[in-house]
Amino acid sequence: MEQQIKQGISEALKALYSHELSADDIALQPTRKDFEGTYTFVTFPLARVSRKNPEETGNEIGQYLVENTSVVSGFNTVKGFLNLSISEGSQVQQFAQMFDGANVSESPAFSIPSTGKTVVVEYSSPNTNKPLHLGHLRNNFLGNSVARILEAAGNDVKKVQIINDRGIHICKSMLAWLKFGEGETPETSGLKGDHLVGKYYVEFDKAYKAEIAQLVEDGMEKEQAEKEAPILLEAQEMLRKWEEKDPEIYALWEKMNGWVYNGFNATYERMGVDFDKLYYESDTYLIGRDRVLEGLEKGVFFKKEDGSVWVDLTDEGLDEKLLLRKDGTSVYMTQDIGTALMRFDDFPGLSQLIYTVGNEQEYHFKVLFLILKKLGYEWADACYHLSYGMVDLPTGKMKSREGTVVDADDLIQEMVDTAKARTEELGKIDGFSAEEAAELYEKLGLGAVKYYLMKVDPRKRMLFNPEESIEFQGNTGPFIQYTYARISAILRKASQLGVSIENIDFDQVSEVHQTEKDLIFAIGQYKEKLQLAAETYSPAIIAQFVYDLAKEYNRFYTEISIFNEDDAVLMQFRIALSALTAETIKVGMRLLGIEVPNRM
RNA sequence: GGCCCCGUAGUUCAAUGGAUAGAAUAGAAGUUUCCUAAACUUUAGAUCUAGGUUCGAUUCCUAGCGGGGCUACCA
């Protein structure tokens, strides 16, 4: 449809002004609601070519389109805006093509050809010393959704994460557990493993602070005390022992990480995210270290007098950056080099590696990609940092030290509980079994959080307002889910009444309301929006699209009756329109990782 | 100090350089003998400031003001 109009405009320009402009270079925009028309073509830039004012130019092109195409039935020009009306027949035709029989899940409205490309999306990538929090939720939902979007856009997508299972952070938890834990386990404490380990991370911090305070009281400078507190030195010693694979330390490390993984897996499962391959820092850091040493030999890096290894990026306008500590242990950057290498080995022909990581690490990734380039890896250009904004609370930044961190498990539970309370208040689920009800609450609660976190442009910092996030009205996940449930009720009734939508004679559709035209237009936008979302790695575009569609349907729903319609074909048409709308909502929500219920 | 990002209704978010800047929420007023009112309709309300580029600027450029991030032998 759009293509036909663009083609028509291209021909018009040639016929009227001998101006060559290919259809692909012509931009159409949806006509604003307060004007008559469906598509709008802006003619200001063409004034030069036509040597007439924009309005006259628009009129001439409009006239040409009405006379020479079958789709454009009328037009009006306001200043330089040529608003094109589409004939009812071709709009119904457009719908018929998208609908293509009753098997809506196979609708051509959703099919996109394969690109033949393989893309790896990394997301989540937590440290193993504490449970997941709100920031991880944004990360996970975003990364998972981007993976789904890229897949729907025709790519072969692999979801991965790098688990930061080694380092000083986990040593801190381990040490505190040894000192204060008295052998506590998830079983004996009844705590989820990740929460238990997180508890000892906090214990470490308490003890560390107490020691600093003591040292300062004894007359030491604060800065020095922070570096020399005995418990910190002990943790550093533990890390060194770990790198030497000290059996006792290693066993403890495996035990505590195991607890954390059990905890994480439970959370991931509830969140509905998963991974095709896991990478562990404990495996990749050595590879990274080897490559750094290799780079040192080749002269890409340099060694300082104390034995530490650095890269000089001053020519690139950046600083010098540490790659190996003087004691030979690895830093974050070291293992990231190794991880990147492993991935390009594991997925030959990989055309893109996407890192879903917060924007606080932009500098880190800039440096990483530069280093990979310096080491001579051409594929460094295929690396992309999907940088998203932090999640703030109304009280400000989340700070673990101040206890303002919103725990992921708690938040999800709270949302599900809220969904339960709201649903019970409304009393609409008579006849649900206990399991069905519980399933519904999960869908609604998770739908609400996911939608709330993903409707915002990922690049931007966002505010998490707890009160607003549990709203189920307006621009929310449950609003869209509700729309789906409403349509499901329509479709159930249609099948009860024995109304078939398998063989509709679309030529007999005698009237099409404005809301129906708007709905057809909205559904027709799916591919374009998907493409755009894939190009910009933005689930927010899908969220906006689905919301607009749901809103449009609700208008249609209140304005036009389906089952009171006397004209059998019109009734069928409206049911079919409802069915394809429902499917589009479902497909769109699936891209966001949100499930839709048949009843609510 | 240097580098990067962001300033849009009371609030939270939209707007490939295009029309009278859209939504949601909070506010005001309505809609249910009729397919789910978690809905719909109406109403009021905003582009940080000053320049510049352009037929046209929320969007691009410059300066200022305000907010955030990075600039670790943390990850």
Per-residue pLDDT reduced to its tens digit, A566-588: 999 999 999 999 999 999 999 99
A301 pLDDT band (50/70/90 cuts)?
Answer: very high
Least Cα distance to A164 among A252, A261, A250, A247 occurs for A261
CA distance A46 to A40: 14
pLDDT of residue A365 exceeding 80, the answer is yes
Give the residue-averaged pLDDT of A376-381. Answer: 93
On strand B, nucleotides with any atom < 7 Å from a protein CB are 4-6, 11-16, 18-20, 23-26, 34-41, 55-56, 68-75
Task: Give residue A48's pLDDT.
Answer: 82
Torsion of CA A65, A70, A72, A74, to 10 degrees: 90
pLDDT, one tens digit per residue, over A259-282 is: 999 999 999 999 999 999 999 999
Q: Which domains does chain A have, with CATH numbers?
A: 2-86 (3.30.1360.70), 168-261 (no CATH), 408-591 (1.10.730.10)
Closest CA to A540 of A432, A439, A457, A436: A457
Provide the pLDDT for residue A47: 84
Res A289 pLDDT > 90: yes
Q: Which of A255, A365, A370, A364 is nearest to A312 (CA)?
A: A370
State the nucleotide closest to A565 in CA–C1' terms.
B35
- Give me the mean pLDDT over the A45-70 stretch: 91
Name the range with the highest mean pLDDT among A43-52, A216-225, A497-506, A591-600: A591-600
Tell me: pLDDT of A79 over 90: no
Q: Could you report the per-residue pLDDT of A452-509, keeping only the tens digit for each?
A: 999 999 999 999 998 889 999 999 999 999 999 999 999 999 999 999 998 899 999 9
- Cβ contact A440:A420 at 8 Å: no
ipTM of the shown complex: 0.96
* The token pair that represents A414 in the structure block: 């709270």
Residue A220 to residues A204, A230, A507, A537, Cα–Cα distance (Å) = 21, 13, 89, 50
Q: Report whether A197 contacts A259 (CB < 8 A).
A: yes
Smallest CA–C1' separation from A541, nucleotide: B14
In the structure, how far is the CA atom of residue A196 from the C1' atom of nucleotide B23, in angstroms? 43
Residue A23 clears pLDDT 90, i.e. is over it: no
Instruction: Tell me what the pLDDT averaged over chain A comes to.
Output: 93
How many angstroms separate the CA of A363 from the C1' of B5? 12
Total length of chain A: 600
pLDDT surpassing 70 at residue A418: yes
Interatomic distance A243 CA / B6 C1' (Å): 42
pLDDT in tens, A167-222: 889 999 999 999 999 999 999 999 999 999 999 999 999 999 899 999 989 988 88
Protein residue with the closest CA to the C1' atom of nucleotide B35: A490
Contact A112, A152 (CB under 8 A): yes
Give the three-class secondary structure for A82: strand
Distance of CA A216 to the CA centre of its chain: 46
Instruction: Specify the pLDDT at position A447.
Output: 97
Q: Are strands A118-122 and A352-358 parallel, antiparallel or unpaired?
A: parallel
Our measurement of CA A314 to C1' B4, in angstroms, reads 17
Residue A419 in this model has a pLDDT that exceeds 90 = yes
Round and report the angstrom distance from CA (A54) to C1' (B52). 26
Closest residue (CA) to C1' of nucleotide B69 is A360
- Which nucleotide shows the minimum CA-to-C1' distance to residue A35? B19
pLDDT of residue A590 exceeding 90, the answer is yes
Mean pLDDT of A410-428: 94
Other CB atoms within 10 Å distance of the CB of residue A2: 17
Nearest nucleotide, CA A79 to C1': B19
CA A404 to C1' B26, in angstroms, rounded, equals: 26
- Using the predicted structure, report yes or no on whether residue A284 has a pLDDT greater than 70: yes
What is the model's pLDDT at position A102? 66
A525 Cβ contact list (under 8 Å, min separation 6): A545
| Separation in Å: B60 C1' and A457 CA | 21
DSSP A93-144: HHHHHHH-SS-GGG-TTT-------EEEEE----BTTS--BHHHHHHHHHHH
